[in-house]
Each structure stands twice: as C-alpha cells, then as structure tokens.
Amino acid sequence: MTLKSRAEVLVARAGIEIDGPNPWDPQVHDERLYGRVIKEGTLGLGEAYMDGWWDVPKLDQFFERVLGADLDEDLTPFQQWLRSTWHKLYNFQSQARAFQVGEQHYDLGNDLYEGMLDKRLVYTCGYWKDSKTLDEAQEAKLDLVCRKLNFKPGDRVLDIGCGWGSFTKYAAEKYGVEAVGITVSKEQAALARELCAGLPVEIRVQDYRDVRERFDHIVSLGMFEHVGRKNYREYMEVARRCLKEDGLFLLHTIGGNRSSSPPDAWMDKYIFPNGVVPSLKEIARAIEGVFIMEDWHNFGSNYDRTLMAWHANFERSWPGLRDKYGDRFKRMWDYYLLQCAGVFRARKNQLWQIVLSPNGVPGGYTPVR
C-alpha cells in the first residue's frame, strides 16, 4: 500500500476525502506530504501547510473532523514520543525560560493583536451566553470575573498574566479597584500602561514567582497554560502567599481531557513555546492542601466562536499587515487560529474558570453565571 493510500484510508475514518469536493477535504499540491507527515507527525503536517504543500477550504472543519475521529493519535512518530519524554523529565517553564513566550508570541507586534482582537484587546475566551458580538462577549467575560470575585471599591487586585491590561482597566473603571498587572511581554506592558493611564493600575514586566505582596483578590486569565506541570504546585503556593485570608483567586485556563498529554509539536515550535494544557486532575492535585475549590465553570464551547471571530478580524485586517508579516506568516496564523477552533469544536479542550479560597467562604460560595 502506498503512503497516499494509507493516508486515504486513515482520513476516511473522519469522513474526509483527499482532493475531494467538500470544504473540509484537503487538496494536496505536493505528494511528498504523505512521507513528511508519517515521519514528523503534526509538526510535518503544519509545516507542509505553511510551505503550501496542501490546502483546504475550511481548516476549522478539517480539524474538527480529524480530532473528532482521534486521527491525531495515529500521528505519533518517534520524535513526538521523545518530546513527550523530555517534557516529563525537564522543566521547560523554569524561571530562566519564563520570558521566551513573551518574546516569541506576545511581542510579535501590537498592530497584529489590535487588528485581530476586540476593542479592549482581550486575548482569552469570550463569554457568549447573552452576547452577539466579540466586543460584547469579551466585556461579558470581564464582568463575569468581577462578579465572581465580588469586587468592592478599593480592593487591591493582582492580575497574573495581564496582557494589554484589559481586565485591570475594566475592573478599575467599573468596580473601583486598584490593580497590579504582571506580564512577561515588554510590548504588552508598554501598551497596557498607555491604555491604563490615569487609573489606579500598575503594569509590570515580572515573573509570577517574584511577586511577594498581599492582595484582596487574584485573577489569572489565560496564563496558566504557560506554567508547566512541574510548576503547578509552586504557582498555587505563590498565589496563596499573595492572597489575603478572606480573598478569592479566579483561575481562567484552557483545560485538556487527558493528563500528561504532550504539547503539540507544531504549536510549541511556532506559536506557544513551552506551552502545556493542564488537565482537571493536574489542577486538582496542585490545589489540594493549598486552596479550597469553591466553583468550577466550563464554557469551552465558547472558545470556538471566539476563535472564529478573531480569525474574521484577522482576515479583514490582513491587507494592512501583509507588508510587515508576509504571506508565510499568514498561512501560519490561519493554521493556528482555525486549528484551535477545530480543537474546541471537537471538545478536545475545555475552558475552565475556577474560583478558589484559602479557607472556604463562610456559609458557602454562591456561583455566578
């Protein structure tokens, strides 16, 4: 059986036909694709797309079907197994490496993110329960977090992984809190300081392990994916150290369905270096004995819609970005956003908001939705 024939049999399990008529059917332009994928797995598949070896009208629908049929589990070459072993043995998210993702991903250019995100520059999942637009969904998410933590004017809040200051700005304006936001991105920090000017907000370029102050509440939106399994416990201990006895900590993170899953090789190389998606069990193990879990809210299906809105914005903004970033970047960024949309649509990843307290809320915590 030829490599192409093997590929045809494999993708047929997902209702996909190579060079077929459907929007999720890949169109192969270079027959070397099959050997490259067999040898390199998901890394080879993604790099071949960036190189123009194959296309598909709807990447999100292609990945929805591939992942829904678990075809990714058949693409685990030796190199991918070796990477998984390395991640179990070594701490790829040590303090010495903490700023790598900021330099490679978040420092790409504020113009890129301004063109892709909502007006507040929120780079995490929106809350679409009663929202019709991306701007509404992101504001609803920010407000949801504030209500879950029951902010009062004058509360001092730490935002771990503050991005462009969207949450700190919103919380200061709408709820009268004082906020400290930390990020590992110099570009994010520079713009966040501009956007939060005149508000009781301090933005720092700082690793979470270096924070040694006390706060009424702590928030972390979309940063825990950069912490790494070997650091989950320390992360929780740092949050506990910085949280007052009657405070609350809200952790907003992507979550995976399985523990110890290796990071996707393509995503690790091109998008989020050293990124790891935690599982429910891994988070629970890190929390045990440090915090009491008050609430666990999953709205992962909302991420599909968020990612598709980001991609639509990116497409509209691309003519003004092309000269700076180039066509290969365009293919890479399309692949990133639409692959992720397919992941969430197939329910392979979740989005969790977890509310934690040091000692338990007296009388019990009332969940907010």
Active site residue ranges: 340
Of the candidates 330, 346, 282, the one whose C-alpha atom is nearest the C-alpha of residue 60 is 346
* Beta-bridge partner residues of 221: 252
Q: Rounded to whole angstroms, how far apart are CA atoms 90 and 231?
A: 11
Name the H helices within the chain.
Answer: 3-12, 33-50, 59-68, 78-89, 100-101, 110-116, 134-149, 166-175, 186-195, 232-242, 265-270, 280-287, 301-325, 327-345
Cα(347)–Cα(219) distance, rounded to whole angstroms? 25
Sorted by sequence, the CB contacts under 8 Å of residue 92 that are 6+ apart come out as: 86, 228, 274, 276
Contact 226, 124 (CB under 8 A): no
HSE, side-chain direction, 13 A CA sphere, residue 17: 5
Pairing state between β 27-28 and 54-55: antiparallel
Identify the DSSP state of 106: I
- Supply angle C-alpha 353, 313, 336, rounded to 5: 65
Q: Dihedral sign, CA of 51, 54, 55, 60?
A: negative
